[in-house]
Amino acid sequence: MYFLKDKENLRSSLKKKRDALGKELRFKKSEKIADFLCEINEFKQSKTIFCYISYKSEVETLSLINLILESDMNLYVPKIISGTEMIAVKLNDIANLELDDIGILTPKSNEILSEKVDITITPGIGFTKKGGRLGYGRGYYDRWFSTNEVKTKIGISFEAQIVMNLPLEKTDINMDLIITEKEIIRPKK
């Protein structure tokens, strides 16, 4: 019980830090994160990308999604289909997104991922330099990672979301890379 309370307190604290950045500053920092991402070999060599669609004060991804759509890469985005399941759905055009029940942009199609993913661009509330990730507490990404083959899992976040330690569980999946507006973090294996 104490462990879960620690996680919720940390989530709340890190969300407040992220929210405090302000919309304009978050956008500028998001551009820098996207620039770093586009420069790494893992991205340049990718054919299939799974990328989250930003919501509220997360690192903004719509401009990155447009860039991917203009390339010759295959783009998949998340779609929540139940209280416990997320799928990766093909996105061919930003116009094919609609707001879901809680206001998250979601693909209209149901064309499910049918290939291996080169990279995932993964959201989180907090990350460690060792690759640890604190999500929103529903386990969508950890469950998805456990059943889908991904070459490189990339967490993107603002520097303010990087912490020394996180209360992680056995089911939490680490990131292979973390990119902030200040650095590219390659955790040691």
pLDDT in tens, 95-147: 999 988 878 899 998 888 888 999 999 999 999 999 999 999 889 999 999 99
Spatial separation of the C-alpha atoms in residues 85 and 174, rounded to whole Å: 19
List domains and CATH numbers for the chain: 2-185 (3.40.50.10420)
Sign of CA dihedral 57, 58, 62, 67: positive
Give the number of other CB atoms < 10 A from CB of residue 60: 21
Contacts of 41 (CB under 8 A, 6+ apart): none
Q: How confident is the model over 51-80, as pLDDT tens digits?
A: 999 999 999 999 999 999 999 899 999 999
Sign of CA dihedral 23, 138, 141, 135: positive
With beta carbons less than 8 A apart as the criterion, state whether 64 and 31 touch: no
